[in-house]
Amino acid sequence: MAHENINLPYDVAGYQYLTFEGKKFSKSKQVGVFCYSLMNSDIDVDTLRSYLVQILPEKKEADFKWEEYKVLINSELIGKFGNFFNRTLNMINSYFGGEINLKSLSLNDADSAFVNECADKIRLITALMEKIELREAYREIISIATAANKYLDTSAPWKLIKSNRGETEKILYLALNVAKALAILSFPFTPKSMLKIWKEQLSIADELDQKGAWSMLDTVLSLPLQHKVSKPSPLYKIIEDSDLERYRNIGTADYDLASLIK
């Protein structure tokens, strides 16, 4: 029944109710956020996807709140996740001209603990994805970004560069590998932004959207010891209160559905 290499469904996920600002979704009453309203808007769909997976009503009812969307995107997606990519790439560009060029790799206890923690979380995320526990899987993805930011804070490459360039380069190499892993893990949730950073900033030749890309996660340190990156640019825009007012109007705007098929 399956077409060539396309898998047949093996599980059906059931969800509880999702409400909108405490009310039931209703097109006639213009209560909710509707896809046809997003097509010509300035709302970053990846930020909506990130927020929605964080509130998925997998085990209990959930409520879509624009204010919560703003808080979670600014603190989690931008403050933790996006910030890790930006600071890693910024330091590689600032200290090493955008190019890692290690001759060998030797990990100390802190390095090994960080790499092993990430490997454990990747295995957990894979298991959660297979069980279609997407909300928890995404939470663990953000936790990798949190651990990676902590590793950078503790290692303090901005201080170490003054006395030990080799050690600094190694730290940023490890961070870069985790950035690659995070892009793979997050691609199912935020595909547009992950494709952008994969091609334009991480500068990885392998295709992120190819079949079998997940197998690149078999080892955390999958990049060669010599790798050149590009200059970073912010993946997401900070959500302001003024944005929310505009989004509220866009998300509930009426639309002539017949125009979609003309």
Q: What is the pLDDT of residues 81-135, one digit of tens each?
A: 999 999 999 999 999 999 999 999 999 999 999 999 999 999 999 999 999 999 9
14 phi and psi, to 5 degrees?
-110, 140
Confirm if 148 and 175 have CB atoms less than 8 A apart: yes
pLDDT band at 42 (very low <50, low <70, confident <90, very high): confident
Whether pLDDT at 36 is above 60: yes
Name the β-bridge partners of 62. 18
| Rounded Cα–Cα distance for residues 259 and 130 (Å) | 39
Average confidence score pLDDT of the chain: 91
pLDDT of residue 162: 96
Give the chain's domains with CATH numbers.
18-68+239-261 (no CATH), 80-228 (1.10.730.10)
Residue 202 phi, psi (nearest 5): -75, -25
pTM of this structure: 0.91
